[in-house]
Structure 1
Amino acid sequence: MKFIASRLSEGNKVFPAEIHIESTGLTVRIPGLFKGKSEYFDFKKISNISVETPMIGYSTITFHASGAKVTAHGFTTSEVKQIKQAIEDGKIDKPKPITQRPNHQSTIEPVQQKQQSPMTSSSEESNQNNKGQVKSLLVETGKSIMSEFRNNKAEKLEKEKLYELKKQEILNIPRPTELNTAIEIIDNLILRIKSEPWINNDNLRNQYTDLCFERLKQLINGLPLLDPNFDKRAYEKQLKKLNWSRFFKKNFN
């Protein structure tokens, strides 16, 4: 199992952090431009896991083991929960199956059953087998449907929470007072839109991307107020392309 930090989070735009869950432990990789950092932790040697989950943004998880400490940033709340659960499961020793030796000393003879007509016995057994198979099939089908329903509901709730946090993050972007700050925010919004473009019939994602687009349009239109000499035509061209992309992908994708 592999978890990759979001490129939208701080410090992960070019080289995102990675957490690899293996059978006996996990590997935390913090890539870098010239030299990265990689640390392996055995599940049983991990003494503590600390998590910082802000109201808005991405979580930070820190692993402590044998005096060593590694911190990784840029994971969602759902991913952090999965990582912690994998560590807890990995610390548990799975019991070995008990094999029972056959008792060769047993000499108890089976009780002789009353003889039945071959045709009657075969018909009754066939009916019982058919009923048993139908019942088993219905039970398994019902379990499968309920399990799929619960999983879909949980995934939907988790998705709603994630996009609500992302939308709040965009709404809380302050109005820039300097040109460089405005350009940095504009570039970040373009990256967000390209990483999560519009998709037909995905309302949660489309609402978030629409919000990014509207905020982007406001910032581009406000650039002359920060610097009357700034040429914003290149950004306006990108805005036009994104607008056409939004129209086609939301209606014909």
Structure 2
Amino acid sequence: MGTLNMLGLAKRVGARFLLTSTSEVYGDPLQHPQKETYWGNVNPIGERSCYDEGKRTAETLTMDYHRGDGVEIHKSAIVLRKEIKQVRIARIFNTYGPRMCLDDGRVVSNFVAQAIRKQPMTVYGDGKQTRSFQYVSDLVDGLVALMEGEHIGPFNLGNPGEFTMLELAEVVKDTIDPSATIEYKPNTADDPHMRKPDISKAKELLNWEPKIPLREGLPLMVNDFRNRILNEDEGKGA
């Protein structure tokens, strides 16, 4: 509904519209890496489906508005035609960086906060599922390139570097605390087994690709998390 409202506003004022979609539209993909032409493998009644299908529907609405003929508005006997001039769709893959919520439930922030707090890092399932992690400034550069360019998308915006959850845990340990431990818990329903963007389209049409690898970006996030957790502990009298 929020997307629909904003599309209506963009149509009324003639604004350029950006939809920040997600790699979750691919569901548990049967294609690897994922290209923008892949339609996805989503369980429409699964526990994760509200987010997956919500974003897929948002993309549908955005393209329907883009393809539409506009709405005729009769004012002072003059027919005015307003329509969305330009839309852009970005499919964002896992992103990390400073200022994330300490306990937002995402795997990178979970691991970092747990390691700093001397808690076991929680791995769901066997930890062999893969994700790709991009630093926030790379994402911002990609969004700017998309908005300033001529192409609608959708575009995958993500770092094609692929890590299992266990490999991510090792990078966090190397960065924060080599003695950090791992706690295994049952996996969540419909958890994608693998996720990696094919960014050839963004490279060719936006002249964009990420520059910051995980081992360079993670310490920048860790410094921010460590300062905030320290202040949090001091506030509690720890």
TM-score past 0.5 threshold: no
Greater Rg by CA: 1
State the structure with bigger RCO (CA 8 A, min sep 6), 1 or 2: 2
Normalised-by-shorter TM-score class: under 0.3
TM-score normalised by structure 1 residue count? 0.26
Please give the TM-score of this superposition, normalised by the length of structure 2: 0.28
